[in-house]
Chains A and B, each alone.
Chain A
Amino acid sequence: MAKIVNWQNATDAELLAASVERNQQAFAALVQRYHVPVYSVAWRLNGGHADTDDIAQETFLKLWKNPSQLREAAALKGWLIRVASNLVMDRYRRKPMLELDYAQDVPDSMMTAPAMLDQSHVTKVIDAAIASLPDRQKLALALVHFEHMTNIAAAAAMEVSVDALESLLARARRGLKEKLGSGGRQLLATLASQGE
């Protein structure tokens, strides 16, 4: 393989091949490219728990320990997200999510001023509503809505059919509408009153 000096412009395949040869610079470029989506998905799945950082780091360490386990470089992002989501689910299967404080109950979206006027309250209500969804619905929503992955790519990352992914998405959206209830409109009104 030709020696690449600027790893930032290298393709995923080149970075992976260099990582197999224990090139830390190439691996660092891979981390720089994908650490935000991996962290973000793990954060959504575990409701913003403090160990999100550990999970994201562990995901990349798994890749570093054996980069050749990934056969297709094109599937790298999906693979990383799948590993991260499995780590989250495994961790909380062993240790129920009792430690999550605000994921337990969705804050009342019908609250009156001044709480309603607080932008952070709106964010907190939405985050909590997402966190209260079942894991797979949450993952489907995170991949498609927040990571802007196509349905095909998200289905591949979750190892489900596209139909199954669409079903999960539909149920997630329905669940969110039910959880937010009519207070959702008030949240929108709050945002509108703040000029957003």
Chain B
Amino acid sequence: MKMVDFERDTELSDTELDRLLQHASTPMPRSDFEARLLTKLTFVDNSNKVIAFPQRKRPSWWLAGLPLAASLVLGIWLGASGTTVDFLPFSTESAVQNDTALLSTQSADDFSFLIEDNLS
């Protein structure tokens, strides 16, 4: 019982606590609080006016592959039909034709001396 009385004696009363609370710090913002905030307001307003550039669409990978595929198909078709020569430049075309003509006029025997020379 005496212990309880002792505790009551040591504990602050409400009035005493209020008196102590009066001595707590009184925080005050910096004097330029308003000025700094108003600067930020202008910045916020301006940032709202910024219009983002529209995102440019990246071309699809298959678009790049399309001309390559077309070129491959055309090459196969031209090769199969034997009309490749028609698309070659004139000088290349005549050279090819001359070589073809030379081969057709000479028989395989005409080249035998070349083989013999190489063997000897």
Contacts and interface: CB of A to CB of B under 8 A. Distances in A.
Interface stretch (A1-9, A37-45, A74-82, A154-162): A37-45
Interface in B7-41: 10-12, 14, 16-17, 19-21, 23-30, 33-34, 36-38, 40-41
Contact of B29 (A36, A126, A130): A36
Contacts of B116: none
B28 A180 contact: no
A18 interface: no
Contacts of B44: 61, 64-65
Main secondary structure of the interface of B (DSSP, over half): helix
A64 B41 contact: yes
24 contacts: A22-B45, A32-B34, A35-B29, A35-B33, A40-B26, A40-B28, A48-B27, A53-B30, A53-B33, A56-B29, A56-B33, A57-B37, A57-B40, A61-B37, A122-B20, A126-B21, A127-B25, A176-B17, A177-B17, A184-B17, A185-B16, A187-B23, A188-B20, A191-B23
A146 B16 CA distance: 16
A123 B24 contact: yes
Main secondary structure of the interface of A (DSSP, over half): helix
Interface residues on chain A, size class: 35 or more
Given A40-B27, A56-B29, A122-B23, A173 B37 contact: no
B34 A184 contact: no
Contacts of A176: 17, 21
B27 A43 contact: yes
Interface of B: 10-12, 14, 16-17, 19-21, 23-30, 33-34, 36-38, 40-42, 44-45
A173 B26 CA distance: 19
Contacts of A132: none
A104 interface: no
